[in-house]
Amino acid sequence: MLCDAISKLLMGEMVCQAVMEMIVAFDFDGTLVDSYSCIEEAFRRALEKHFHWLPFKGFWAKVLAKIELYFERPHFGKHGGKVRQPFFFRWHFFRTWFEERAKLSKPIDNAKELIRKLKEQGHTVISFSAEDFIDGMKEHRLKVSGFYELFDDVIVFGRELSICEAFWLVREKYGDETFVWVDDKPWRFIGRGDENTEYVWYYFPLTAKYVKEKILNQIPHLHVIQDLWSIFDVIERIKQEKKT
Ligand SMILES: [Mg+2]
């Protein structure tokens, strides 16, 4: 009898743990890698390669970096629909810029180890980010940086898929487990996800300056972290909340 009771309890615990496995989705730029600090240097290198004759390359790189950062603002980063590749991004110059940017990007907070640890704990870890201005470039950069093969799945929205379609694709493929969505641009969360979505804003200083109170007020189940490893505290907190 006692044995039965103990085994039932253990089974219960196991079922409970299985239920608590989550889908953890990570954005890429500004969340897993710092690909912002190097934007200007990547432009300088691209100018060096394609416009060697151009004077004041440092100045032009600064101007181009400012323009690029302008497109990082909330108004542009919503990915509600499907955006076509702008024609000028077909120029070799921009491909070189992205490639130089990929080479110069650095992982944040030992992010690769973090992904491995989350998977060890049984979570499904996916890459969930927006396409770059050049088709296929996000996948290419994920591969170059050594992140691609760490994920259980890689989902890129913004071109073929809108952000909402991408979310429902995850639901279709991986079920209704808690979806923990980590991104440095919290305005993407507004009106997206479902009841069982937990939103984690990773505070990345270079994009955090665009975050306003009125954006955060529109997001339910919001968690804020300044260190990627705090995701484990968030997961623990969610587990506790769901138990009660
Ligand atoms: Mg980002």
Q: Ligand 1 centroid to 27 CA: how many Å?
A: 6
CA 36 to CA 29: how far, in whole Å?
8
CATH number, domain at 130? 3.40.50.1000
Q: Is 47 exposed, middle or buried (0-12, 13-18, 19+ CB in 10 A)?
A: buried
Structural domain count, the chain: 1
Residue 26 included in any domain? yes
**pTM (two decimals):** 0.86
Ligand 1 center–CA 34 separation, angstroms = 9
Average the pLDDT over each of 1-10, 39-48, 67-76 and give the range with the smallest value.
Answer: 1-10
- How confident is the model over 186-212, as pLDDT tens digits? 999 999 999 999 999 999 999 999 999
Q: How far is the CA of 28 from the centre of ligand 1 (A)?
A: 6
> Within a domain: residue 4?
no
DSSP 44-83: HHHHHHH-TT-S-HHHHHHHHHHHHHHTTSTTT----S-P
At 31 the pLDDT is 98
Give the Å distance between the CA of 244 and the centre of ligand 1: 33
Contacts of 211 (CB under 8 A, 6+ apart): 74, 186, 187, 201
Domain encompassing residue 48 = 16-243
Query: Does residue 3 sit within a domain?
Result: no
In a domain, 142, yes or no: yes
Least confident of 17-21, 56-60, 103-107, 182-186: 17-21
* The total number of residues written for the chain in this structure: 244
Residue 7 in domain: no
Q: pLDDT (tens digit, 9 = 90+) per residue, 96-123?
A: 999 999 999 999 999 999 999 999 999 9
